[in-house]
Amino acid sequence: MPPPSSPAHDDRLAHPPSEWPESTRTGLRSSAFGSTLFDAPAVAAPAPSAFDVCHVGVVLRAVLFVNGVVAVGVMFAAPGVASWLSLATTAFAVALPGVLMWLLAACLLKRSLDRLPLPSQWAVATALGAAGGAFGWGLVSASGLEAFDARRWLPPALAGAALAAVMFQWLRLRAKAKLPADTTARLAELQSRIRPHFLFNTLNTALSLVRLDPARAEGVLEDLAELFRVALTDTGESVSLGEEVELAQRYLAIEQIRFGSRLQVSWELDADAGAARVPPLLLQPLVENAVRHGVEPAPDGGIIRVRTRVKMGRAMVSIANTVPKGPSRPGRGMALANVRERLRLMHDVAAHFDTRRDRDVYRVQIVVPL
């Protein structure tokens, strides 16, 4: 991937911006993040919340944990298998609505609970657990499965409070481990993986444009500055998919100046999908891989297609690139592994990441909840 040697030998610079694809012209306009790239102060990202339970994976684990504890506990009171099944059925009927009530309350009150001091969070979590246990017992009593006895409300409430305390501690540990040390190191590496040779080539392109077309040179430097601003400062927990798409557009706009007609980019964007939350710098390494392995090795270049859409309440992102006939430089797969790991940490089982090759097209597909 040699850099452009001189302006006189670079026929790509002869094309005016009006002849460029719309995606490139869009990427070279002033930043949608603001007219001045560095005047906005960095906003600290909120810390992971222990009450972030609005995920399918958390709900499944919580239900399985509570029911598992209940099943083991019932064994100590049941003399036989038949008796255990009977008692376990009643206990499950109490536990399931109780734990679902706790999860629903924690999900709805997440923002308010996050503002409380830690002792108050513990108190609210255990109180909600006690209320959930009493609620489940009330449903069982009302259904007629057990004779109503007000004195028997205390054990379910105490059990609910104890299980809630254990779950809250697990959620706190989960929140602290959301970006563990090794993942943080990989994230920092990924966010700094705008490779030195890319910087060198981009600066060469800008320098060759300075005398011929200062406006386009300024646009290249603005896009480069925005990429590095995000790489150096956006270390928060999440950004919108729309912001990620715009950053990928800027990156490909710079690469399109360098590759000219060899790089063709197609965008099919659904505005509704842009509201989804994703880890920062999610798309840039993926489109960088597409350029490096799909366009750069091919003498005639290649095509990159980026598509976003909403399906069944989820945002779907597809990045496809043509595969050259000859061999490309093998990669180590670090970017793909990093993206997959960060998606798992953020969305757990609610996110999906898949890569596959269909003949001459390599495709990366991401699915995240809205």
The CATH number of residue 322's host domain is 3.30.565.10
**Angle, nearest 10°, between helix axes 118-143 and 154-176?**
140
Same domain, 41 and 100: no
What pLDDT shows up at residue 38?
31
**Antiparallel, parallel or unpaired: β 302-311 and 361-369:** unpaired
Whole-model pTM?
0.57
* Residues linked to residue 343 through DSSP beta bridges, in sequence order: none
Same domain, 160 and 187: no
What pLDDT shows up at residue 305?
96
Same domain, 104 and 28: no
Torsions phi, psi for 355 (to 5 deg) = -125, 140
Q: Which of residues 142, 158, 176 is at a domain's end?
A: 176
Same domain, 97 and 229: no
Range of the domain at 288: 7-47+179-369
Same domain, 148 and 258: no
What pLDDT shows up at residue 198?
58
Task: Report the domain count for the chain.
Answer: 2
Answer whether residue 2 is part of any domain: no
Answer whether residue 81 is part of any domain: yes
Q: List all residues 6 or more positions away from 243 whose beta carbon is below 8 Å from its beta carbon.
A: 33
Same domain, 63 and 190: no
- Alpha-carbon distance of 177 to 183, in angstroms, equals 10
Answer whether residue 1 is part of any domain: no
Query: Which parts of the chain register pLDDT below 70?
Result: 1-48, 144-151, 177-199, 201-202, 205, 230-237, 326-333
**Antiparallel, parallel or unpaired: β 277-278 and 314-322:** unpaired
* Residues linked to residue 278 through DSSP beta bridges, in sequence order: 239
Nearest one of 16, 21, 18 to 266, comparing CA atoms: 21
What pLDDT shows up at residue 341?
81
- Alpha-carbon distance of 102 to 104, in angstroms, equals 6
| Whether the Cβ atoms of residue 262 and residue 295 lie closer than 8 Å to each other | yes
Same domain, 135 and 257: no
What pLDDT shows up at residue 262?
92
What pLDDT shows up at residue 35?
30
Catalogue the long-range contacts made by 146-153 (C-beta closer than 8 Å, 24 or more residues apart).
146/90
- Alpha-carbon distance of 204 to 214, in angstroms, equals 14
CA–CA–CA angle 160, 71, 155 (5° rounding): 30
Same domain, 116 and 205: no
What pLDDT shows up at residue 114?
85
Same domain, 183 and 169: no
